[in-house]
Amino acid sequence: MLEIAMVHDQPSAAVKLYVDRGDGFHEENCVYLPLKTGVVTKRLFWMSSKVRGLRLDPLESEGRFAIKHLRFSWLTPWFAHDRLAQRLVNMHFKWRDMPPKKVIGELKRKAAASHRHWRHVALETYEATFERFSAQRSYADWLDQQPALTSDAVSERLAQLSFTPLVSILVPVYNPSLEHLKSCLDSVLAQHYPHWQLCIADDASTNPGVAALLAEYVEKDRRVNVVSRKTNGHICAASNSALALANGEYVALLDHDDCLTQDALLAMVTAINEHPRARFLYSDEDKIDEDGYRFDPHFKPGWNPDLLLAQNYISHLGVYETALVREVGGFREGFEGSQDHDLVLRISAGLQADQILHVPQVLYHWRSVVGSTAKESSAKSYTTEAGLKAVSDYVAAHHSGAEVIPGNYANTYRVRWPLPSPLPLVSLMIPTRDRVEILKPCVEAILSRSDYHHFELLILDNRSTCPNTLAYMQEVQARDPRVRVLRWEHAFNYSAINNFGAQHANGEIIGLVNNDIEPINESWLTEMVRQVSRPEIGCVGAKLYYPNDTIQHAGVILGIGGVAGHAHKYFTRSAHGYFTRLHVAHNLSAVTGACLLVRRAVFDEVGGFNATHLSVAFNDVDFCLKVREAGYRNLWTPYAELYHHESISRGADDNAKKRARAAAEVAFMRKTWGEKLDNDPAYNPNLTLIHEDFSLR
């Protein structure tokens, strides 16, 4: 096993370990390992008896680095097999549902069938779980270019505040590193905003140095308040003891080894002044290691209720109206490890969307130390269990019939929403023209690979002349009563064709499906119907792959390229995505019309697609934005997986007429939606509008 930890000045980094088996160093004998900033990264590799030398390339391009940890460990076969099996089950889509103890046997069976050594098959499969991805810009570079607040600017911003509430900062304390606790307390004393109260609950720490340090800070600043608990009650009880000290209109939550940025409270109070309806606010955050190095920033979206059910994306820094926290009963014992997630769920249940505000600034440094969740999300399994309990409790109270199960990764969850009774009819509409070799696999896969059977399939034939295509459409219509063929005798216009199909559809749910789509999992339609049947949900999109198992579509991000782009495009099927976003259901401003479900009532309410101005491109984005403006939440789910052979039947915009049409469609979108395209609430203003990879702007 190769183990390495390294700091560097690159946007991202990967090490390469070259193995000389007697014929020099070559790429085919190279071990590739993308590094996780600030932590020890590990991977298995095979060391044969013929090895003559090793060469470690720390960076793939010129830069500065320092190796903090490097070790090669010989592993016993059983341990190596166990680690390999666990990685495949955790990271590889083809092995996810298999018990780890069965993985090695299955690898050997596959190898025998292909007449290869099982180790070669195993290591090739293992290699595929390491994402080869390069960020465009490092966080360190980004931080260097952020303007610092001058003392004059601070004074000016303070003078502009018409409302200066007292903010009570709650800090439950139990045996932290004294150095980290001191950094935490100093970050509060250094705040630009002066109207704060520090409410510390010492949860019966056994280290006498803790009480001494806290007493020192009480003497140092009268705004520091400490209550010493007689018995250890854990974080929820301690947080409630701190809450009892709070006199402020708002409370902010701070862990005993974390730090606030100097402008954290000023930024939050400024936001409250600008948005007086806000009763709960949260910011972006990053991590900080024991040496003070900042890394792994989390630039969050605006209020995203479905993402909150899938993971605690809110995290730090959270600022809450004190009366709200007390109204819901404070922190609930029994939810230790996910007490913040539980609190946010209970508080947000009684708020309107405009009362919840995201402040898109990094205002909180989450300490990354050995054994902390910041270091490794799976470090504390009880946090996942507590989070599951919190989400389950919320869902049971507000959504009858829904079930919550663990997600594919630590601290993620999946809500299985109930199907309506009786089951709604779904009208799947497939516009097409000729190209039976594309249409037939699509239709046959939908008919045979869908465990939701209550659907009709409308083939919208746009002037097909190919005899084989016409014959197939006639044959499948006669063979399966769910299939109908409707003729559209006009020039290609995606919007008009689908509006035409919707007029002839019998279903309560309208489904848009490209003719180059092929379902992968049989539950794809069931999952989408579960989601779209929720009254608050508008459009539902699916997870689409290119045939080579890279991401084609994982939702639409507004503003990329001027209008919109696909999130996580070209990421591998096993990739986590930005903070596990590729594996959790969440709200987005738009999803692709290549596979989209919407209730007929919503479709009619917004007037369907714009056939006048958007005949080919962006009609799905425009439609989703109309649905969003009507008050519905659009949603993307990773649990409906399909292949998409990206527009191969339509062709590219490769002549003057097509380019003029495309330019007109861009101009229409910019004129119609303008500023909203550049301020996607499901994205973050600190992230790129050039690339589709969530890199820094």
β-sheet bridge partners, residue 72? 2
| HSE-up of residue 533 (Cα within 13 Å, Cβ side) | 22
Query: Which helix (H) or strand (E) element contains residue 291?
Result: none
More confident residue, 635 or 121: 635
Q: Is the pLDDT of residue 589 over 90?
A: yes
Q: What is the CATH number of domain 426-678?
A: 3.90.550.10
- What are the E-state strand segments in 75-186? 167-173
Q: Which segment of 26-40, 365-379, 413-427, 664-678 scores lowest on mean pLDDT?
A: 365-379
Q: What is the pLDDT of residue 86?
A: 86
Candidate CATH numbers 3.90.550.10, 3.40.50.11540, 3.30.930.10, 3.30.70.260; the one for domain 162-367: 3.90.550.10
Q: Which segment of 112-121, 286-295, 366-375, 448-457 scores lowest on mean pLDDT?
A: 366-375
Q: Which segment of 6-10, 141-145, 156-160 scores lowest on mean pLDDT?
A: 6-10
Q: What is the pLDDT of residue 620?
A: 96
pLDDT, average across residues 556-566:
91
Q: What is the pLDDT of residue 291?
A: 84
Please state, in angstroms and as integers, the Cα–Cα distance from residue 661 to each residue in 514, 566, 589, 619, 632, following that order. 21, 21, 24, 13, 30
Q: Is the pLDDT of residue 145 over 60?
A: yes
Per-chain mean pLDDT for the chain: 92
Q: Is the pLDDT of residue 320 over 70?
A: yes
Asked if 552 contacts 565 with a C-beta cutoff of 8 angstroms, the reply is no
pLDDT, average across residues 618-625:
97
Going by pLDDT thresholds of 50, 70 and 90, the confidence category of residue 654 is low
Top-ranked range on mean pLDDT: pick from 10-19, 79-88, 421-430: 421-430
* 162 CB-near residues (< 8 Å, 6+ apart): 273
Sign of the C-alpha dihedral computed for residues 95, 120, 376 and 554 taken in this order: negative
Burial of residue 319, with CB atoms counted within 10 A of its CB: 0-12 exposed, 13-18 middle, 19 or more buried? buried
* Calpha distance 432→428 (Å, rounded): 13
Q: Is the pLDDT of residue 99 over 80?
A: yes
* Calpha distance 375→415 (Å, rounded): 27
Query: What is the model's pTM?
Result: 0.85
Q: Is the pLDDT of residue 378 over 70?
A: no
Q: Tell me if 162-367 shares its fold with 426-678.
A: yes
Q: What is the pLDDT of residue 650?
A: 46
* Calpha distance 298→627 (Å, rounded): 28
Q: What is the pLDDT of residue 47?
A: 85
Among the listed residues 135, 140, 213, the one whose alpha carbon sits nearest the alpha carbon of residue 173: 213
- Tokens (6 digits) for 326: 């007390």
271-282, pLDDT tens digit by residue? 999 999 999 999
Q: Which segment of 16-30, 168-182, 437-451 scores lowest on mean pLDDT?
A: 16-30
Instruction: Return the axis-axis angle of helices 339-348 and 381-398, rounded to nearest 10°.
Output: 20
Going by pLDDT thresholds of 50, 70 and 90, the confidence category of residue 129 is confident
Among the listed residues 415, 396, 375, 411, the one whose alpha carbon sits nearest the alpha carbon of residue 257: 375
226-245, pLDDT tens digit by residue? 999 999 999 999 999 999 99
Q: What is the pLDDT of residue 138?
A: 80
- 403: number of Cβ within 10 Å: 13
Q: Which segment of 147-151, 334-338, 470-474, 647-651 scores lowest on mean pLDDT?
A: 647-651
Q: What is the pLDDT of residue 585?
A: 98
Q: What is the pLDDT of residue 372?
A: 55
Top-ranked range on mean pLDDT: pick from 100-114, 389-403, 566-580, 634-648: 389-403
- Residue at token pair 């070790």: 71
Q: What is the pLDDT of residue 649?
A: 43
pLDDT, average across residues 664-669:
91
Burial of residue 260, with CB atoms counted within 10 A of its CB: 0-12 exposed, 13-18 middle, 19 or more buried? buried
Domain limits, the chain: 2-127, 162-367, 426-678
